[in-house]
Amino acid sequence: MDKITFLNELEYQLHRLPDDKIDEVMNTYENYFYQEGRKGKTDRAIVKDLDTPKQIAKQQYAKYAVKNAENKPDVAHIAHAVFATIGMSVITLFFILVPLFFVMIITLLGTFIALGMLLSPILLLIMNIWSGLHSFSLSNYLFSFAYLGLGAMFLVIIIKFIIAIRNLLIRYLKWNVNFIKKGTS
């Protein structure tokens, strides 16, 4: 593959990035070809030293997606960053998705428990109305309000846990992109 073919293929593979990022990457590689050519290397030797355009594009998109997730840490941007990073390496699939799956299950389970605790006074009232107020007990209502307080605290803990997991995930994705990039260089 020669320089022109390599750069055309790279530009084609970078289609998921914004135009300014594509221009930046293309400029970097054109300068790299120029600098290496001045040292006396042929285009084929330079291309042989580089990763494939597809791999370079995956790395650039993963870096862009992780930076985007850092700036706007919502579910959509983090999901894009996770999948872009997984696209760089299959091993990443196991190191990200498997623990993330278990964390999500634990978080969902905790959320449902907290919501059950938050709804306990309403559920108790509905059950007492349904049974005709024959089994009215003040202690049941006191316990249900205690569960309401515990549920509110548990929900706050879950929200803090989700924020911490989000921040750890973004830091891990940044590290992973840099690690894979250094491993292929």
Mean pLDDT by groups of 10 residues along the chain of 185 residues: 88 92 92 90 88 89 90 88 81 80 93 94 87 77 92 95 91 83 59
Instruction: State residue 174's pLDDT score.
Output: 86
Instruction: State residue 19's pLDDT score.
Output: 92
Binning the chain into helix, strand and coil, the percentages to the nearest 5 are: 85, 0, 15
Instruction: State residue 158's pLDDT score.
Output: 95
Instruction: State residue 110's pLDDT score.
Output: 94
Alpha helices, H only, 39-137: 43-49, 53-71, 75-88, 91-118, 120-130
Instruction: State residue 182's pLDDT score.
Output: 66
Distance between CA atoms of residues 151 and 86, nearest Å: 36
Instruction: State residue 99's pLDDT score.
Output: 84
Distance between CA atoms of residues 42 and 69, nearest Å: 39
